Structure 1
Amino acid sequence: MLRITSEWSKLRTVLVHEPGIEMFYGILDPDAFLYMRRFNIEKAINQHKQMVGKLEKMGIEVLKVKEAITQKAKNDSEFRKLLEKIALNYIKYEGDGKAEENFSKIRKDIEKLDAYTLFDIILLNPTVLSHEALGTNETVTRILNEEPLANLYFTRDQSIITDQGVIIGRMSKRIRRRETEIIKLVFQALSEKPLKEITEPAFLEGGDFMPFKDFAIFGTGDRTSISGIMQAIDFTDFNEIVIAYNPEIEETEDYMLTMHLDMYLNTPKEEVIISNSTILNKTLAHIYERKESGFTLKERTNLLDFFKRKGYKVIEVGLAEQLSYATNFLTIENSRILSPKVDRNMVNIMEYLERKGYTKLLNEVKEEYNKHITDKDFFPNKKAIKDEGIEYEEIDVSELTGGFGGIHCMTMPIKRE
């Protein structure tokens, strides 16, 4: 059974989804698909390949969502039948009187389709619309892909792995809701039975969960509900559970900038966190303690005070760095991280803030950016990082962050020591 107790335990296996045609739809309508901006898909896909290559060079096994599912379908007839059944749920035929006949044909021919095509049907959710053109005997066909899963490459979000096992989440946004169907197939392909699947009306997303060995933190806000957290905590053995109320950035009221816990907090080693103290101080935290009868509310505080009382050291990042995914790194092992190139992300963040009209925040970010340029100390190139003995490697994911997430968002640790 898969179990993870801390973010800094040595990483052995990580799950990713290599983006493909589904990303095209996000580019067409970024806001509807929860993207930050339009970006270069070719470069984004190449950056993802480079990230995977870097992880493999670091000695980490990288599982790819599509490969895990399709390879299992090729080798396991029962799993193949399940994949066929789910694919038939996500293809529809509509039009001039032949919809039922056409669906019967695809159902009859489903065994002829390869596993990759079955996967793509679930990914894209196509509807085939056919009708006779006026004045002709020709049939005109249109294919609509309803809510294709353009965000699937953020594989952190569809599930969590606690110190007891796997929990399948429930996505807050309809445009991402079907992603959990694919992740459930991945865990089935790995012969891993989830302990729990979050049920409606609750929501739980993986970017809002972080284990810290003796305690775990759940973020709550636009993407994860209190009821979702309460469904999950019974499937943990942590002594304490912290519910952190994801803060808003002043002036903006833009939940996307702190949509998940990992957008403003991370840990590169035991008893050390990376964050912005002002943000942590504004983050309301409810501390729950495990009792024989279950978890009971112990204290109301803020995340900064909570970590200080725990004896954690806070390595400070500026607000501009935090907005530029400085905390969205992946911890490879205690005192070793894979970090995004924050300076390249910051340029894109400034463009976003200008487009949104966040003038005060934009000026603050510009000032910080210019200071970092002068001092040459963009995260993680900081004295505090080096003094703490934290090793780091950087990789450019500046196109991929156009989807509104960084390296932590794009990677789901499956096995840690």
Structure 2
Amino acid sequence: MLKLHVKNETSRLRAVVLGTAESNGPIPKIEDTYDPKSLQHIKAGTYPKESDMIKEMEAVVQVLKKYDVTVYRPDIITDYNQIFSRDIAFVIDDKFIKANILPDRDKEYQAIQHVIKQIPKEDIVILPEDCHIEGGDVMPWNDYVFIGTYSGKDYPDYITARTNTKAVDAIKALFPNKTVKSFELRKSNTNPKENALHLDCCFQPVGKDKAIIHKNGFLVEEEYQWLVDFFGKDNVFEITKDEMYNMNSNIFSISEDVVISEKNFTRLNTWLREQGITVEEVPYAEIAKQEGLLRCSTLPLIRD
């Protein structure tokens, strides 16, 4: 059996589900896209090739193996995008919580049944249907759980609004001993530079006490300011709109002093090294075209 354990974003990783780019399917039709960035690349004729994305993910596998991390992969569904395993479920403490994602992505959850079967039944949580939530919006941080949400009345109009307030309340009820703090995110169906698809598209803790953040991803300035104050201004790396667009806040921590990052994130990677963090650089720019990066394609199961 798998003994799940995830208290935060940066403790030493032992087991993870990494998505797959194999049999990723044809380029989506414009009307079938879920985010403005994919839409932009489909229109421009620059949508990523499957062979390139497979190579990018293989580079991540090699880094994870180097650090002795157990890596699970989904069963392959023919012609189907299964890169972003973070969307389908997430772990807080010892609970495996199924994300209520866009209905036509439910197949992705079925494709990791070989992992789910190893988890004690009493540790699997399935939320009520009206609780919409995706793992990219959920960040356990010790005594806190940070959650990205959107509570505007026009929530149904945004395919980019993935986590609702009902889900935030459900997580509060599940973890009464934790402080669950939600953040309103800026949403746009058409402009990727004005859209924070998930909380990890504009914020992520790194190391012991540091964070990467993009102010404009937050709708409410006080909520952004709360995070800056929580980590301390000197511990926060502010990214620009272009850096957010390129997914600089979506790197992935193997431990407090090792991260996997995209090789083109020059400014960020320099800062991380200045903080004493080892940066394992991989190419991931093709996958980033679908508005997801390293954190989005990983689902941590066990951290020390």
- Is the pair's TM-score, using the shorter chain for normalization, greater than 0.5? yes
In the TM superposition, 1:13-52 aligns within 5 A as 13-21=15-23, 23-25=24-26, 27-29=27-29, 32-34=32-34, 36=38, 37=41, 38-52=47-61
Deviations 1:173-215 (Å, cap 9, x if unpaired)?
33323323334x2443323324321222221100000111121
| Aligned-partner Cα distance in 1 for 2:138–2:194 | 17
Match of 2:7 among 5, 14, 29: 5
SS of the residue 2:25 aligns to: helix
Deviations 1:105-152 (Å, cap 9, x if unpaired)?
xxxxxxxxxxxxxxx6xx35xxxxxxxxxxxxxxxxxxxxxxx642x2
Deviations 1:351-404 (Å, cap 9, x if unpaired)?
xxxxxxxxxxxxxxxxxxxxxxxxxx432123xx33322221110011222322
- Give the equivalent residue in structure 2 for 1:241: 180
Taking structure 1 as reference, are residues 170 and 272 closer, same or farther at Cα in structure 2, changes over 3 Å only? same
- Give the equivalent residue in structure 2 for 1:224: 163
- Give the equivalent residue in structure 2 for 1:304: 225
Deviations 1:274-296 (Å, cap 9, x if unpaired)?
112x326x4438xxxxxxxxxxx
Match of 1:381 among 267, 270, 289: 270
| Aligned-partner Cα distance in 2 for 1:195–1:18 | 23
| Aligned-partner Cα distance in 2 for 1:164–1:342 | 35
SS of the residue 1:381 aligns to: helix
In the TM superposition, 1:45-194 aligns within 5 A as 45-66=54-75, 123=77, 149-150=80-81, 152-171=82-101, 173-183=102-112, 185-193=113-121, 194=123
Letter in 1 for 2:128: T
- Who wins on radius of gyration, i.e. which is larger? 1
Taking structure 1 as reference, are residues 387 and 28 closer, same or farther at Cα in structure 2, changes over 3 Å only? closer
Please say if residues 18 and 48 of structure 1, whose CA atoms lie closer than 8 Å, have aligned partners that are also in contact: yes
Please say if residues 164 and 235 of structure 1, whose CA atoms lie closer than 8 Å, have aligned partners that are also in contact: no
Give the C-alpha shift of residue 324 in structure 1.
0.6
| Aligned-partner Cα distance in 1 for 2:262–2:231 | 28
SS of the residue 1:200 aligns to: coil
- Give the equivalent residue in structure 2 for 1:268: 206
Please say if residues 3 and 164 of structure 1, whose CA atoms lie closer than 8 Å, have aligned partners that are also in contact: yes
Please say if residues 192 and 245 of structure 2, whose CA atoms lie closer than 8 Å, have aligned partners that are also in contact: no
Please say if residues 166 and 195 of structure 1, whose CA atoms lie closer than 8 Å, have aligned partners that are also in contact: yes
SS of the residue 1:203 aligns to: coil
- Give the equivalent residue in structure 1 for 2:157: none
- Matching of residue 399 in structure 1 with residue 262 in structure 2: no
Taking structure 1 as reference, are residues 53 and 256 closer, same or farther at Cα in structure 2, changes over 3 Å only? farther
| Aligned-partner Cα distance in 1 for 2:31–2:57 | 22
Please say if residues 86 and 297 of structure 2, whose CA atoms lie closer than 8 Å, have aligned partners that are also in contact: yes
Please say if residues 18 and 49 of structure 1, whose CA atoms lie closer than 8 Å, have aligned partners that are also in contact: no
Letter in 1 for 2:74: V
Please say if residues 207 and 255 of structure 2, whose CA atoms lie closer than 8 Å, have aligned partners that are also in contact: yes
Taking structure 1 as reference, are residues 187 and 41 closer, same or farther at Cα in structure 2, changes over 3 Å only? closer
Number of residue equivalences: 281
- Give the equivalent residue in structure 2 for 1:317: 239
Taking structure 1 as reference, are residues 225 and 342 closer, same or farther at Cα in structure 2, changes over 3 Å only? farther
For structure 1, the residue ranges without an aligned partner over 5 or more in a row are: 67-119, 125-147, 286-300, 344-376
Please say if residues 167 and 232 of structure 1, whose CA atoms lie closer than 8 Å, have aligned partners that are also in contact: no
| Aligned-partner Cα distance in 1 for 2:66–2:106 | 33
- Give the equivalent residue in structure 2 for 1:335: 257
| Aligned-partner Cα distance in 2 for 1:188–1:174 | 19
| Aligned-partner Cα distance in 2 for 1:28–1:5 | 36
Letter in 1 for 2:65: E
- Give the equivalent residue in structure 1 for 2:216: 279
Letter in 2 for 1:191: I
- Matching of residue 212 in structure 1 with residue 141 in structure 2: yes
Farther-moved stretch of structure 1 (230-239 vs 402-411): 230-239
| Aligned-partner Cα distance in 2 for 1:410–1:190 | 21
Taking structure 1 as reference, are residues 247 and 236 closer, same or farther at Cα in structure 2, changes over 3 Å only? same
- Give the equivalent residue in structure 2 for 1:413: 300
SS of the residue 1:398 aligns to: coil
Taking structure 1 as reference, are residues 317 and 387 closer, same or farther at Cα in structure 2, changes over 3 Å only? same
Taking structure 1 as reference, are residues 156 and 3 closer, same or farther at Cα in structure 2, changes over 3 Å only? same
SS of the residue 2:205 aligns to: strand
| Aligned-partner Cα distance in 1 for 2:70–2:111 | 20
| Aligned-partner Cα distance in 2 for 1:178–1:259 | 21
- Give the equivalent residue in structure 2 for 1:90: none
| Aligned-partner Cα distance in 2 for 1:55–1:329 | 14
Taking structure 1 as reference, are residues 256 and 233 closer, same or farther at Cα in structure 2, changes over 3 Å only? farther
Deviations 1:31-87 (Å, cap 9, x if unpaired)?
514361322111111211121112111221111122xxxxxxxxxxxxxxxxxxxxx
TM-score under structure 2 length normalisation? 0.83
Give the C-alpha shift of residue 155 in structure 1.
0.4
For structure 2, the residue ranges without an aligned partner over 5 or more in a row are: 42-46, 151-160
